[in-house]
Amino acid sequence: MDVFAAISQRSSVRAYKATDVEQDKLKKILEAARLSPSASNRQDWKFIVVRNKETKKKLAEAAFGQSFIGEAPVVIVACGTESDEIMGCGQPAYTVDVSIACAYMILQAYELGLGTCWIGAFEEGEVKKILKIPKEVRVVAMTPLGYPNQPPSQKFRKSLDQIVCFEKYEWKSGWLSGGADTSWGLR
């Protein structure tokens, strides 16, 4: 599968089969995170793999009751370990670094036939308590991981001309103006 196929076909999975995730597949997904880029190559991250049923259930509760999280055979919790590092652009490095690593994992999982769902809605304090995460470490995201038990969902996306402009910021791009078909065939 090429990268664009994975990007365009992947969708969030919110129903999982009980089938376990093979260890070699899990390792490849974690390798995708390990090999991803980070600011100054800081690799300021830690990925907690959770298979324990009770712990997964608690994580689902900490994610405002998103029960499908607990139904997946694996949950990966992605943490930033150097939360006080601010990049020159003013953004904290760890949120960007950990998010890139998560995106890579999600695409790698898709290529292996596994589903994921980026989870950003959770009570960080609760997750930290459940997993004994130190105070200075931040939880950026988590994802259930497992074989999908649902058909792929349709993608709804803005068109390119709604989100791209050239040379300077424009509220509306002039590029494809004039009533042209602006969808570029992408959904």
Ligand X SMILES: Cc1cc2nc3c(=O)[nH]c(=O)nc-3n(C[C@H](O)[C@H](O)[C@H](O)COP(=O)(O)O)c2cc1C
Select from 59, 105, 119, 133 the one that contacts ligand X (CB under 6 A): 119
Task: Return the number of the residue (121 or 180) whose C-beta is nearest ligand X.
Answer: 121
Which residues within the stretch 7-66 sit at the binding site for ligand X (CB under 6 A)?
11-12, 14, 66
SS (H, E, C) the chain: CCHHHHHHHCCCCCCECCCCCCHHHHHHHHHHHHCCCCHHHCCCEEEEEECCHHHHHHHHHHCCCCCHHHHCCEEEEEEECCCCCECCCCCEHHHHHHHHHHHHHHHHHHHCCCEECCECCCCHHHHHHHHCCCCCCEEEEEEEEECECCCCCCCCCCCHHHHCCCCCCCCCCCCCCCCCCCCCCCC
Encoded one letter per residue, x for contact with ligand X by CB under 6 A and - for no contact, window 127-166 reads: --------------------------x-x-----------
Residue 178 lies near ligand X (rule: CB under 6 A): no
Binding site for ligand X (CB under 6 A): 11-12, 14, 66, 117-121, 153, 155
